[in-house]
Homo-oligomer: A and B are copies of this chain.
């Protein structure tokens, strides 16, 4: 020990510095297991400090398990397992692009910072103390009430505050529902094919068996549902993702009747029901059968995914099970919930949606007219949502090479093919083009660059 250099950190107190130095020496292998440390008297003399300081430091290191002090034996170094060198930090969200035409997110620069901060300020000054404690796992009553009213008004959802379950994002809600059906049902859920691949992954992670059902321009092919033996069907009724169609009226009726007859639940992913440009949004499917449909809404497309705020409207028979699953697992910060309730009640959410809807409508028009000149792309005609789907009509071109060419110009694109279930043989090829993600002041430039790349390929 006398040869061991103990560098004492001068910014710490004497005792803390001594402890840190010994811990460091043990961890980096300079002091190995079983080594007898000097007596407290000797070390105190060496370091020029009081013996009490060394005794206190040794006591602490014994309590922490770095040193062993057994009766009748000298104090010595215990076994300590040094950590591996940490890996380099990487970004698990994948590549970023100067101009990102991938769908799925609103323009983050459009987030209503001032309005949100105003709501936060109100909550922090007005909310009772109990918002800082454990909360009702269904969500704060103030938010559930605001959402019940908001959903009825904007989406025709039939909701009572006791039906609303706040969740930290749609994906968390989907996972909870999947778990519930794995535990209490057959563990099989019918899904649209194509659909957002990420949602398939989430369902599989919680043990769900996926049953893909084909989609056409009128949404889910309800004629294919007979005999499926599933617990639930996951459907985007207002605006199918990625193909873009709304579920046709007669299919809505048929879907609900099939679900009633077979006692199957409908999970309505109403992710972007607020965004329709040619007419008022079609009301939620849930309104046709509130006891049969779990309606799922989210703040991720209207405000931002960073808020981690979404909500389910749950039929009575499922409520206690959903509540119990969520109670044991999740939770959304109460302050954020109350801020959203305030934003809704002040009308600020409605105003924000109107503003961004007008902006996205302009962008869609610009994108549509730009792409009209690309002869090998066939645009979907649906006037809804935050994306356009363009089918590839030129057999010589493939998605991968288009996406790669765009990436070299730092343009982000997403292909249609990955949205199909693995076993599906007939896959349309194309691009799913998001209009929302790019900051407003860069959209025109981004579109020019995108068109330049596409024209260079034709």
Task: Give the B-binding residues of A (Cβ under 8 A).
Answer: 23, 27, 60, 62-66, 68-70, 78-84, 86-89, 91-93, 104-105, 108-109, 111, 113, 116-117, 120-121, 124-125, 129-138, 141, 156, 158, 160-163, 168-169, 171-172, 175, 198, 201-202, 205, 246, 249-250, 252-253, 256-257, 260, 279-280, 282-283, 285, 287-292, 303-309, 315-316, 319, 323, 325, 327-336, 439
Measured between beta carbons, the chain B residues less than 8 angstroms from A81 are 256, 260, 288-292
What are 9 A-B residue pairs whose CB atoms fall within 8 Å in the complex?
Answer: A64-B252, A65-B253, A65-B285, A81-B288, A86-B162, A92-B323, A93-B135, A132-B305, A168-B168
Q: In the complex, what distance in Å separates the CA atom of A63 from the CA atom of B219?
A: 13
* A444 and B205 alpha carbons, distance in the complex (Å): 50
Q: A23-B156, A91-B136, A306-B131 are in contact. Are A333 and B333 (CB under 8 A)?
A: yes
Contacts of A161 in B (CB 8 A): 89
Q: Which residues of B contact A129 (CB under 8 A)?
A: 108-109, 111, 439
Q: Report the bound CA distance from A65 to B156 in whole Å.
A: 12
Inter-chain contact A87/B205, CB cutoff 8 Å: no
Say whether B105 contacts A331, CB under 8 Å. no
Q: Determine how many copies of this chain the complex contains.
A: 2
Docked Cα-Cα span, A121 to B63, in Å, equals: 41
A217 CB to nearest B CB, Å? 15
Contact of A86 among B89, B93, B316 (CB under 8 A): B316
Q: Is the CB of A306 within 8 A of B335?
A: yes
Q: Which residues of B contact A303 (CB under 8 A)?
A: 132
A130 touches B158 (CB 8 A): no
Nearest-CB residue, chain B, relative to A91: B136
A335 to B92, CA, bound (A): 19
Note all chain B residues with C-beta closer than 8 A to A111.
Answer: 129, 132
Q: Of all chain B residues, which has the CB nearest A135? A: B306
List residues of chain B with CB within 8 A of the CB of A316: 83-84, 86-87
Taking a contact as CB atoms under 8 Å apart, the answer to whether A158 and B27 are in contact is yes
Say how far A133's CB is from chain B's closest CB, in angstroms.
Answer: 4
Q: A27-B158, A109-B129, A133-B305 are in contact. List 6 more A-B contacts (CB 8 A).
A: A63-B246, A81-B256, A120-B120, A132-B305, A134-B306, A306-B334
Are A141 and B89 in contact, CB atoms less than 8 angstroms apart?
A: yes
A158 touches B83 (CB 8 A): yes
A113 partner residues in chain B, CB cutoff 8 A:
124-125
Q: How far is the CB of A28 from chain B (nearest CB, A)?
A: 11
Cross-chain contact A83 with B329 (CB below 8 angstroms): no
In the complex where A84-B316, A132-B108 touch, is A175 in contact with B329 (Cβ < 8 A)?
A: yes
Residues in chain B near residue A105, CB distance under 8 A = 133-134
A65 and B136 CA atoms in complex are apart in Å by 35
Please provide the 10 A-B residue pairs with the shortest distance between their CB atoms, ordered closest to farther: A132-B304, A65-B252, A83-B290, A86-B160, A81-B289, A111-B132, A108-B129, A64-B283, A306-B334, A117-B124
Given A64-B252, A64-B283, A280-B60, A172:B330 Cβ within 8 A: yes
Q: Which residues of B contact A135 (CB under 8 A)?
A: 93, 305-306
Residues of B within 8 A of A335 (CB): 306-307, 336
- Say whether A308 contacts B290, CB under 8 Å: no
Contact of A291 among B23, B83, B287 (CB under 8 A): B83
- The residue of chain B having its C-beta at the shortest distance from the C-beta of A327 within the complex is B92
**For residue A88, which residues in chain B have a CB less than 8 angstroms away from its CB?**
162
Which has the most chain B C-beta neighbours within 10 Å: A65, A168, A257? A65
B333 adjacent to A307 (CB under 8 Å): yes
Instruction: Look across to chain B and name the residue whose beta carbon is closest to the beta carbon of A335.
Output: B306
A244 to chain B, nearest CB (A): 15
Find chain B residues with CB under 8 A from A137 CB.
92
CB distance from A286 to the nearest CB of B (A): 10
Partner of A336, one of B108, B172, B323, B333: B333
Set of chain B residues within 8 Å of A279, measured between Cβ atoms? 60
Q: Which residues of B contact A309 (CB under 8 A)?
A: 333
